A and B are shown apart, each in its own frame.
Chain A
Amino acid sequence: EVQLVESGGGLVQPGGSLRLSCAASGFTFSPYWMHWVRQAPGKGLVWVAGINSDGSGTRYADSVKGRFTISRDNAKNTLYLQMDSLRAEDTAVYYCARHFFGSSGCPWGQGTLVTVSS
């Protein structure tokens, strides 16, 4: 069964850091672009960051550029999102998702909640 499982969310103070993980199973992780998408409470979906198959190419939304870092470990089948200098507006459920336009499906994780508050 194809599965993506996020972890690492929690409560953090403004200015703090968190590292999210997304463990992939049930498919060959290495060939795919992977993405992080977030959803603030009661709001819509917003793309945050993406990374290519070997990790050599990364892209970020302007709102997180310079503060967030996406990375991957293909040996461990795991995607990461290092979040620094967190702000209240970063509060959201963070989802990892596999390549959006593949013909073999587009699985998403269950999401992990990040709350930035003092």
Chain B
Amino acid sequence: DVVLTQSPLSLPVTLGQPASISCRSSQSLVHSDGNTYLNWFQQRPGQSPRRLIYKVSNRDSGVPDRFSGSGSGTDFTLKISRVEAEDVGVYYCMQGTQWPPWTFGQGTKVEIK
């Protein structure tokens, strides 16, 4: 199975400052079709997960442009350019290149300092 390792697991951030979350895969996430199936999800307290980014860098509709995804192969990053109060929650990376199973990272908890 593909293991996704996120870091840090806890990220205290000052409002208006940038934040960055790393997701490292135990295997390359480049599919034979040329795509890389790596998503980022946000889960606010008490809510269901919400997809922010799909296939590494594509932002979902309605997602603020302060969120961006990048990376390739086994190393991926979610960046928030300026953290706002509504960004508090847990962020998960998730892969769908080698399935089953589809696998998630452990989650990174973003909180305001």
Where the two chains meet, the residues of A that have a C-beta atom closer than 8 Å to any C-beta of B are 35, 37, 44-47, 50, 59-62, 95, 97, 100-103, 105-106, 108-111
Contacts and interface: CB of A to CB of B under 8 A. Distances in A.
Interface of B: 37, 39, 41, 43, 48-51, 54-55, 58, 60-61, 90, 92, 94, 96, 99-107
A59 B100 contact: yes
Nearest to A93: B48
B49 A95 contact: yes
B102 A50 contact: yes
A108 B44 CA distance: 13
A37 B105 CA distance: 13
Given A106-B51, A108-B49, A109-B48, A101 B39 contact: yes
Contacts of A102: 54
